[in-house]
Structure 1
Amino acid sequence: MPLVNGFKLLEIIKERHVCAGAYNTTDLITTMGILDAVEQSKIPAFIQIAPTNIPLSGYGYIFDMVKRYADKMETPVTLHLDHGKNFQNVVDACRAGFGSVMTDNAQYEYDENVAHTRQAVEFAQGYGVPVEAELGAIAGKEDDYVNPDHKYTDPDQVVDFVERTGVNLLAVAVGNVHGLNLDPNIKFDLLKEIQSVCKVPLVLHGASGIPDEQINQMVNYGVVKINVASDLRKAYIQSMGKDYEKDNDRFDLVNVTLDARKAVKDVVYHKINVMNKLSPAQVY
């Protein structure tokens, strides 16, 4: 089916009581590997790209790539902007046809975060797409930006933040980290407290480093979207590296990239199963 609007995808997720992975792409090979796995699993998903990865392909090219594949799929998919760091990122994504966007203003103090988020929400409303925002700050390495410290989401701010911004999804900091080099420590008691007061669905970033046994609990804590990036990039690069090690005179780029596509697919398929507590027999 064609790409669906983020609001529609959230409805489907709620109806099916599943947790949607949000998988970061950069190029055609990563995109196809992700969507291969999503279509095989039949579990709805977000495919997303951060502005730091946009210079390689551009908003329009990413939209065209994802749409061309999604048009042949049965499983609903939304194209999402991940970690829009300024208002222009949101504008560019909406104008390119993205079905949902994230405005990440966690680097600002609370009131400034509210103001920037509200601006993004008001603009995105004109395009009919949902907006995700972050409250608190997630430690770790996000592309070229490194945040060494956790700033946990304050449950006492959640109600006010959601009401004042009009945001549709809330990314929380509960011990999750970006990247693969820090040890995540999910505070489920904090996550439960946030769930009890938050009127919008929750999002968990930094799932690459979180153990499977913790990931498969998230659907019971109001989490509808779980972001995975580092694991996919690692699989892609390692696949190409292994092919080179086997034969450093190789020049058959098609087969090397097909191996990388399958490596990405395998990681995504595993993550989908873990998020939704599925056994292989349950994936149809």
Structure 2
Amino acid sequence: MPLVSGIEVVNECVSRGLVAGAFNTTNIETTMGIVDAIEKVGVPTFIQVAPTNVALSGYEYIYDMVARRLATTKVPVALHLDHGKSLDAVEKALAADFTSIMIDDSEASFADNVATSTKAREMCGPDIALEAELGSIGGKEDDVAPERASMTDPNEAKAFVDAVRNDILAVSVGNVHGYAPNAHIDFDLLDEVRHASPVPLCIHGGSGLPAEEFGRLHEFGVVKVNIASDLRNAMIRSFGEAYNANNNENSLIRVSKGAVVAISEVVERRIRQFNPSVA
């Protein structure tokens, strides 16, 4: 199936009561592992990449790699720009035919965040999904951390979405990027934001959250959960274990295939945790 708009992924998940995983890729092994798991489970999904992770490939190579692998897949998948910190990143991802975009100006003032996010909305047009962030999520994403983290204010949610017309609202409700041993969702705050927001919500920093919290998220208007660190750790660990087992190992393809399996197992487990009703 060709890549679909993130709008289609969101709409199908909402209609079926599902939560889409949003899994970050960087290379062919990660992409193969993600799609292998998607095919097993059958839940609509986002595959995404952040600007910090296109340093080697550029956006076009990511698009080609993902689109080729999905050509024979029947599950709806969107290719998403994760944490586009500038309109330049948005422009480059759109030029490479990404089908879903995140603009993240969450560290700016409310007015500036609205202004930047509204420009991104205009760039995306009506057919490309737009995610915007309200409240600044803490922790590190590829060693990049916000100067300040702040929780999402439920009183600002409706005004923000009404002004920007984004399709997904990324929120800061106790979630933290990367591995954060003390991270927990504040479900009372999430419930307030859910009732205030006209659009479904996204939780970033899924890798560091307790697994038992995932199964509740669909009850609180969450339609997308981001997972990045888990996949990177699975690949690095798989290569490290292969080297430790045989420090003269020289079959890169054998080790790469092992990494694909490790990544696929993580993705499948997370999708099922997000969606306890999926057999």
Q: Which position in structure 2 is the counterpart of 1:214? A: 213
Q: Which position in structure 2 is the counterpart of 1:269? A: 268
Q: Which position in structure 2 is the counterpart of 1:89? A: 89
Q: Which position in structure 2 is the counterpart of 1:3? A: 3
Taking the aligned partners of 1:148 and 1:259, their CA distance within structure 2 comes to 38
Residues 80, 102 of structure 2: 8 Å contact kept: yes
Q: Which position in structure 1 is the counterpart of 2:224? A: 225
Cα displacement (A) at 1:150 = 3.5
Where does structure 2 lack aligned partners over 5 or more consecutive residues?
Answer: none
Taking the aligned partners of 1:274 and 1:69, their CA distance within structure 2 comes to 24
Residues 184, 210 of structure 2: 8 Å contact kept: no
TM-score calculated relative to the size of structure 2: 0.97
Amino acid paired to 1:237 = I
SS at match of 2:276: coil
Q: CA 1:263–1:278 in structure 2 vs 1: closer, same or farther (change >3 Å)?
A: farther
Amino acid paired to 2:10 = L
Once the two structures are superposed, the pairs formed by residues 253-268 of structure 1 within 5 Å of their partners are 253-268=252-267
Taking the aligned partners of 2:239 and 2:277, their CA distance within structure 1 comes to 30
Residues 47, 80 of structure 1: 8 Å contact kept: yes
Cα displacement (A) at 1:76 = 1.0
Taking the aligned partners of 1:163 and 1:15, their CA distance within structure 2 comes to 22
Where does structure 1 lack aligned partners over 5 or more consecutive residues?
Answer: none
Q: CA 1:96–1:273 in structure 2 vs 1: closer, same or farther (change >3 Å)?
A: same
Amino acid paired to 2:54 = I
Taking the aligned partners of 1:27 and 1:174, their CA distance within structure 2 comes to 30
Taking the aligned partners of 2:277 and 2:243, their CA distance within structure 1 comes to 35
SS at match of 2:54: helix
Report how many aligned residue pairs link the two structures: 279
TM-score calculated relative to the size of structure 1: 0.96
Amino acid paired to 1:102 = M
Q: Which position in structure 2 is the counterpart of 1:205? A: 204
Taking the aligned partners of 1:6 and 1:148, their CA distance within structure 2 comes to 29
Taking the aligned partners of 1:156 and 1:181, their CA distance within structure 2 comes to 27
Taking the aligned partners of 1:182 and 1:97, their CA distance within structure 2 comes to 37
Residues 140, 148 of structure 1: 8 Å contact kept: no
Once the two structures are superposed, the pairs formed by residues 19-98 of structure 1 within 5 Å of their partners are 19-98=19-98
Cα displacement (A) at 1:166 = 1.4
Taking the aligned partners of 1:150 and 1:175, their CA distance within structure 2 comes to 10
Taking the aligned partners of 1:182 and 1:108, their CA distance within structure 2 comes to 27
SS at match of 2:38: helix
Report the identity percentage. Answer: 44
Cα displacement (A) at 1:95 = 1.4
Cα displacement (A) at 1:148 = 7.1
Taking the aligned partners of 1:248 and 1:50, their CA distance within structure 2 comes to 33
Taking the aligned partners of 1:182 and 1:109, their CA distance within structure 2 comes to 29
Q: Deviations over 1:214-235 (max 9, x none)?
A: 0110011000000000011001
Taking the aligned partners of 1:142 and 1:106, their CA distance within structure 2 comes to 14
Moved over 3 A (4+): 147-150
Q: Deviations over 1:147-188 (max 9, x none)?
A: 375400000111111111111110000000000144212110
Taking the aligned partners of 1:192 and 1:181, their CA distance within structure 2 comes to 22
Taking the aligned partners of 1:108 and 1:197, their CA distance within structure 2 comes to 21
Once the two structures are superposed, the pairs formed by residues 76-155 of structure 1 within 5 Å of their partners are 76-125=76-125, 128-147=127-146, 150-155=149-154
SS at match of 1:147: coil
Residues 27, 56 of structure 1: 8 Å contact kept: no
Taking the aligned partners of 1:7 and 1:185, their CA distance within structure 2 comes to 28
Amino acid paired to 2:46 = F
Taking the aligned partners of 2:64 and 2:187, their CA distance within structure 1 comes to 39
Residues 107, 146 of structure 2: 8 Å contact kept: no
Residues 49, 81 of structure 2: 8 Å contact kept: yes
SS at match of 1:133: strand
Cα displacement (A) at 1:278 = 4.2
Deviates more, 1:4-13 or 1:236-245: 4-13
Q: Kindly report the root-mean-square deviation, in angstroms, between the aligned alpha carbons of the 2 structures.
A: 1.2
| 2:253 is the counterpart of 1:251 | no
